[in-house]
Amino acid sequence: MEAGDPELNQEATLRLAISSGDPAGIGPEVIAKALAAPDLFELGADPSDLGGASRLEFLLVGDPRVFAAAGLGPGGAVSLLPAGEYDPDREPLGAASARSGRAAVAALEAATDEVLSGRADALVTAPLSKHAMAEAGFAWPGQTELIAERSGAAPALDPVMLFVAGRLKVALFTRHVPLRDVASRLAAAPLVACLRTLEAGLRQDFAIQSPRIAVAGLNPHAGEQGLFGSEEEQSVIPAVHAARDQGLLVEGPLPADTLFCKLRDGAFDAVLALYHDQGLIPVKLLSFGRATNVSLGLPLVRTSPDHGTAYDIAGKGIADASSMRAAILTAVEMVRNRRSFLNRGG
């Protein structure tokens, strides 16, 4: 089963908590546009697109004034949970601020709590600004870290960021780390832990029974046996061998300049990229606007669009909601796959 084309079984209604994201960005707009599609409320209306599935309910979390400005309100399968304060009639759109950062974090925390409490089945997060978070005094480098801490998964467990667009699945070993620091972060033990989290996520959340994973090299030609760098020999190769010893189907390190073509063509189920742009440039080149950001290793299902706040087009009504729709559908797929996996006893 592939994300974006899920074969969903008839089950009880699923409830998704959707955080507003940064209210000065395009988050509320793309939520409104995604929910404007009637088939999201009765999955199966278009069998060629969605497959069969049950109804969805949506819990929108944020300042109700923000959702109202985007044309959203309670009614039918949509309900609101007020969290944070941001008046779009009085506050500016299109710029990061401490106020928008505080509102976005409040919405994210409240939405996360709804899922952790069992009142919602999955979390879908609209984009927020890391700069606005910092302006508001928060130290998290991103939403994933905030959710991990909120759920009690940090610091014992480091979640894995996975980008999904059908067959294309790319995970990141380091996320928001300066490029100059990436090499110093490479070590066999955390690489093996990341591979284990990725492999488990592929099995339980995407129904891939025996995931084939490739690890990208850090240096040109994956180091060329130490000629162009020693990180592969010192860290990546020992990690791959250790992962294989634990039963994982892992190859690498492989040269990153050709690896993503092999992934696209089906040679692997997923790639582990070693740093942010190494993984996200090919994902966004091949699938921008259709990919989903997934957090693996958390005690909840969390997805997000593959784009940011897009301040430059906020309030203009031209934002593309395709990735938000993909995030919603991927969350549904993950919930169903995880339940099926657990029902089978893992």
Instruction: Compute the average pLDDT of residues 296-312.
Output: 95
- Please check the confidence at residue 328 and state whether its pLDDT lies above 70: yes
Q: Residue 193 in contact with residue 242, Cβ under 8 Å?
A: no
CA-CA distance, 40 to 52, in Å (whole number)? Answer: 12
What is residue 12's predicted lDDT score, i.e. its pLDDT? Answer: 67
Q: Residue 85 in contact with residue 103, Cβ under 8 Å?
A: yes
Look over the chain and give the mean of its residue pLDDT values, rounded to a whole number.
89
Instruction: Compute the average pLDDT of residues 240-257.
Output: 96
What is residue 290's predicted lDDT score, i.e. its pLDDT? Answer: 87
pTM: 0.89
Q: Angle 281-284-289 (CA atoms, 0-180°, nearest 5)?
A: 165
CA-CA distance, 129 to 138, in Å (whole number)? Answer: 11
How many CB atoms sit inside 10 A of residue 131's CB?
16
| Band of residue 46 on the pLDDT scale cut at 50, 70, 90 | very low
Domains of the chain with bracketed CATH: 1-155+298-346 (3.40.718.10), 158-295 (3.40.718.10)
Instruction: Compute the average pLDDT of residues 234-243.
Output: 96
What is residue 40's predicted lDDT score, i.e. its pLDDT? Answer: 79
pLDDT, tens only, 9-41: 345 689 999 999 999 999 999 999 999 988 777
Q: Angle 67-111-104 (CA atoms, 0-180°, nearest 5)?
A: 60
CA-CA distance, 327 to 332, in Å (whole number)? Answer: 9
pLDDT, tens only, 190-201: 999 999 999 999
- Please check the confidence at residue 241 and state whether its pLDDT lies above 50: yes
| Band of residue 163 on the pLDDT scale cut at 50, 70, 90 | very high
Q: Residue 56 in contact with residue 16, Cβ under 8 Å?
A: yes
- Please check the confidence at residue 316 and state whether its pLDDT lies above 90: yes
pLDDT, tens only, 102-140: 999 999 999 999 999 999 999 999 999 999 999 999 988
